Amino acid sequence: MAIVRMQKLGIAANKKHRKAILETLQGLGAMEIFTDQIDEEDLRVMDTMSQRTQFQKEAEAFDKVLKLLDRYAPKAKTKSLNLTGREIITSEQFRDAETHREEYINDAKAILKGDKQISECEGYIVKDQNTIASLEPWMKLDIPMNLTETKKTEILLGTLPDPITEEMLYAAATRDMESPAVMTQVLSSESGQTCIAALVHKKDAAKVEENLRLIGFAKPAMLVSRTPAEEKSRLERDMAEQKKIIEDTKETIASYGDRREYYKISADYFRTRAEKYRILGTIPQSEHVFFLEGWVTCDMSDRISRLLTEQFGAYVEKEETKETDDEPTVLHNNSFSSNAEGILASYGLPRHGKVDPTFLMSIFYVFFFGMMLSDGGYGIVMAVGCAILIKKFPRMEEGMSKMIHLFFWCGISTAFWGFMYGGFFGDAIDTIAHTFFGVPEDQKVLKALWFEPVNEPMRLLLWCLLFGNIHLLTGLGIKGYQCLKDKDTEAFICDVLSWYLFVVGLILVIIPTDLFAGIAGAKVIFPGWLVVLSRAMAIVGAVIILLFGERGKKNWALRIAMGAYDLYGITSWLSDALSYSRLLALGLATGVIASVINLIASMGGRSVVGVIMFIIVFILGHTLNIAINALGAYVHTNRLQYVEFFGKFYDGGGRAFVPFKQANRYIQVKEEERL
Amino acid sequence: MSLGMVFALTGAVLSTAMAGIGSAWGVGRAGQAAAGVVAEDPDSFARVLLLQLLPGTQGIYGLLVTFITLSRIGILGGTPVTDTHTGLLYLLACLPIAVVGLVSAYHQGMCSVASIGLVAKKPDQFGRAMIFPAMVETYAILALLISILCITNIG
């Protein structure tokens, strides 16, 4: 349970070893490089921006290629990397990919070009479909649409807003005309658009067009040089062609599928190089020498400095840590508690010089999670499920692995509390015994080891408040430990000890009262000395808080007023403690809903249909209940840690350690131990 | 004839109905936001789904109280309520989870929407994003507790 001590190293070496040293450090992945800029005329930093961008682009191209291959050649698809972990490849494979990288870049270009072609073709197809749809109303027309005149006649094509019959159209077109030479035709009629054609002798053309305009005639937006039917079949042929191209291109892309492994290596190769150039762009260099600074963990510092000195003749200096240094945080915990580091990290890592609460938190975490889910069957399902995942995917990604290990322990704790409360898939054992084996209703088969919360909720509530107060006092205790570590005895007495006295004293004062007896259902009688002691503790604690809670204030009146306000903070302690009633509420929720599921499942009675129905409802219902209650337990356990526990002492604010390493997403190069 | 049973059953029904309405409301709102995020970033599905589910618990608490009530008023067990007085007691006992469930699930849904937005922008903040809706749920849990304590101590 500790924060690992860090050492700052300063390195100076000959520039000819620059590449080798950077690659060695990157391979080790144990140093966070952060070089202070030295204001010296002879020292320059290289501008590596363009190379870096170039490499990043290559890496992204390969990422995209891999996605495309997953789509078009789905055989041996990339599995969830979180679970399976990165693929292990040998260093020969890596070097092989490195030498052929130009070839793979060309492959990637071809694949991306193919993808672009596919989207272009798809665009054409959509366009063709739209054109066909807009041609549909003109299908009856058997002349090219852009034909406007013959030798003696003019052709008027267009749309009207309202439906119209042939006769009405003719009448409207020839209004106020004597012996008109006009032929009209309604081509199609839909709501909002009626397509018509008119063949008119040239001498009448102007008049007819004017007549038609009166009823809303408008020329069409699109005119094609073929008859609509011809145009439609041309477009259909075009669509078929585009589809063919798409199919061919897809096949071409899929044919690259078996080189997928090399593209993975290439993607990571370029990403790693981009990362190297990022670092290269931050280090100051003179004509012959370059400088590096960075953080390593203390136990690595000797190995790294020896390696660099012996292999590359570098000068390595262990620098003193300054107050202003932004030292990164690495946590080191035992194999059980380290699983909860992710939970801590998502609140915020501790700063150096502060306490790492992971160990204590992990114990409470597992304990409270179990109380909330509290079902023997669910706990076993969870623990077994996690164990299978751990066995099946031994190389899963670290954060994921820790989470699953944590849930394994939570599952064990859940099973423990389940048997304490007498819950195994709710009251499944009793329901089965009563329904199918004829055990009398009033006979309990699975008895609780402790007691059943449904029957005695008040009793469990008191226990929850007790556990809550222990949790809160532990938090306050860590604050006290921190004060003592910082040699701030004043703060320890006034801010921590005073509250301990006050809270513990108050609790002891309340226990023998009638109020408590009413809740607990039993009167507790303390011996006289304990009564006196508890009152003394509460009063001493309260007085210290009142007088010294706000030590910084000079004005005594103000100081006492503020002290009184601090004392009022006991209400927030009360609300924090009551917050632990969720341990009871969520525990009850799991048990009661599980019983409801069993009740519904057993409604089929003692018959074959009844058994089948029981199994189906049982499986579906309990799966749902596990999922929803595990989520609730997870969220609310986190909340108890973050809000109630951390609220007492912890503010995070540490910075995660980000070592300079290979930026591998898909692969892990298996290398001989270098040190 | 007394109205005891009518009142008791009204209470039982209200806790599932009102808390359920609240949860449906909250989960619905959060679901819309979640779908929007997944459209942009399909990998965030698991995270936003968890956030969407958070306001769903009130409905379950309501169901829980209904079930405990039914098992005590002679519908799924227990002794039938014969006097109006006891019936009204059951009705009152159901009200905390019914009312608080409705309102808190709605507001928790709003919080979930905001947290889903947060996770969309900063996926690494999931741990904290989850806490904001959970803060609202505290009051539903307190209401659930009071409802259960009341019901189990009537009669």
A427-456 residues touching B, CB cutoff 8 A = 454
With beta carbons under 8 A apart, name residues in chain A contacting B48: none
pTM value is 0.82
Q: Are A377 and A428 in contact (CB under 8 A)?
A: yes
B-side interface with A, Cβ within 8 Å?
A: 50, 53-54, 56-57, 60-61, 63-64, 67-68, 76, 124-128, 130-131, 134-135, 137-138, 141-142, 144-145, 148-149, 152
Would you state the pLDDT for residue B24? 96
Name the residue facing A643 among B67, B131, B152 (closest C-beta). Answer: B131
Residue B84 confidence (pLDDT) above 80: yes
With beta carbons under 8 A apart, name residues in chain A contacting B141: 581-582, 585-586, 636
Would you state the pLDDT for residue A346? 85
Q: Are A663 and A274 in contact (CB under 8 A)?
A: yes
Q: Are B59 and B101 in contact (CB under 8 A)?
A: yes
Q: Which helix (H) or strand (E) holds A604?
A: none
> How many H helices and E strands in chain A?
25, 13
Name the residue facing B64 among A461, A579, A592 (closest C-beta). Answer: A592
Question: Beta strand pairing status for A193-201 and A284-285?
Answer: unpaired
Q: What percent of chain B has pLDDT over 70?
A: 99
Distance from CA of B136 to the nearest CA of A (A): 11
Residue B146 confidence (pLDDT) above 70: yes
pLDDT digits (tens, 9 = 90+) for A402-441: 999 999 999 999 999 999 999 999 999 998 998 888 888 7
Taking the C-alpha atoms of residue A202 and residue A194, their distance in angstroms, rounded to an integer, is 24
Name the residue facing A589 among B64, B125, B138 (closest C-beta). Answer: B64
Distances (CA, A) of A78 to A63, A86, A256, A665, B26: 12, 10, 15, 12, 36
Backbone angles phi, psi at A664, to 5 degrees: -90, 135
Which value does ipTM take for this structure? 0.82
Distances (CA, A) of A479 to A274, A346, A376, A577, B15: 44, 21, 36, 18, 42
Taking the C-alpha atoms of residue A559 and residue A602, their distance in angstroms, rounded to an integer, is 66
Chain B contact present for A387, CB below 8 A: no
Residue among A89, A97, A100, A265 at smallest CA distance from A671: A89
Name the residue facing B145 among A346, A584, A639 (closest C-beta). Answer: A584
The residue of A397, A596, A600, A655 whose CB has the most chain B CBs within 10 angstroms, and thus the best one to mutate to test that interface, is A596
With beta carbons under 8 A apart, name residues in chain A contacting B128: 346-347, 642
- Determine whether B65 is exposed, middle or buried from the number of CB atoms within 10 Å of its CB (0-12, 13-18, 19+): buried
Put simply, the answer to whether A628 touches B56 (Cβ < 8 Å) is yes
Chain B contact present for A642, CB below 8 A: yes
Q: Hey, which residues does A183 pair with through a beta bridge?
A: A199
Put simply, the answer to whether B134 touches A639 (Cβ < 8 Å) is yes
Collapsed DSSP state (helix, strand, coil) of residue A519: helix
Would you state the pLDDT for residue B35? 95
A325-350 in b/e form (b: 16+ CB < 10 A) is eebbbbbbbeeebbbbbbbbbbbbbb
Would you state the pLDDT for residue A391? 93
Would you state the pLDDT for residue A671? 61
Other CB atoms within a 10 A radius of the CB of residue B153 amount to 11
Would you state the pLDDT for residue A203? 84
Residue among A51, A466, A593, A437 at smallest CA distance from A270: A51
Residue B155 confidence (pLDDT) above 80: no
Would you state the pLDDT for residue A77? 56
pLDDT less than 70: residues of chain A: 1, 37-40, 75-82, 671-675
Backbone angles phi, psi at A649, to 5 degrees: -150, -15
Would you state the pLDDT for residue B64? 87
Put simply, the answer to whether A585 touches B148 (Cβ < 8 Å) is yes
Radius of gyration of chain A (CA): 40
Taking the C-alpha atoms of residue A277 and residue A295, their distance in angstroms, rounded to an integer, is 19
Would you state the pLDDT for residue A674? 44
SS3 percent helix, strand, coil of chain A, rounded to 5, is 60, 10, 25
